[in-house]
Amino acid sequence: MIAYVTVGADDIEQAKRFYSAFLPALGYGMTQGSEGLSYALPVPPGQSPIHPDFYVKPTFDGRPASAGNGTMVAFEAADQAQVRDLHTAALAAGGSDEGQPGFRADYGPRFYVGYLRDPQGNKIALFSSNPSDPSRDD
């Protein structure tokens, strides 16, 4: 099980605007400290943490942050409408489009996804496979 994912950011406030445009709608709470941003799903009393957490941090070596070639973090949305809404919100918060929400021919008939780049260039996917939504074949 993946426990956490970290991406680097040179401008934490800019990253906060971007990620706070959609992660709270997916249930993530955010805390900010000197080490950057921490997004986590709430933990009910007496329960174990729900993973993975998502961190946005300055680099530890002090060099500029960079996006990994071939690296992408995907967040699951409730349905296709939420994918569209959150993709739009993330663009308005400083992200750039890497692929409008929709079905992709290479994936299953219910895999609905939109792709973004955060202000630092990290690739982000917002997707849904909700069986209550129309499929690519409907």
Note whether residue 32 is domain-resident. Answer: yes
Number of domains in the chain: 1
Domain containing 82 equals 4-128
- The pLDDT of residue 23: 98
Note whether residue 136 is domain-resident. Answer: no
Note whether residue 10 is domain-resident. Answer: yes
pLDDT along the chain (138 residues), means of 10: 93 98 97 95 90 94 92 97 98 98 93 97 97 91
CATH at 64: 3.10.180.10
Note whether residue 62 is domain-resident. Answer: yes
**What pTM does this model have?**
0.92
Three-state DSSP state, 84: helix
- The pLDDT of residue 49: 86
Note whether residue 17 is domain-resident. Answer: yes
Q: What is the DSSP string of 50-118?
A: PSPEEEEE--SSSSPP-PPTT-EEEEE-SSHHHHHHHHHHHHHTT-EEEEEEEE-TTS-TT-EEEEEE-
Angstrom distance (rounded) from CA 66 to CA 43: 31
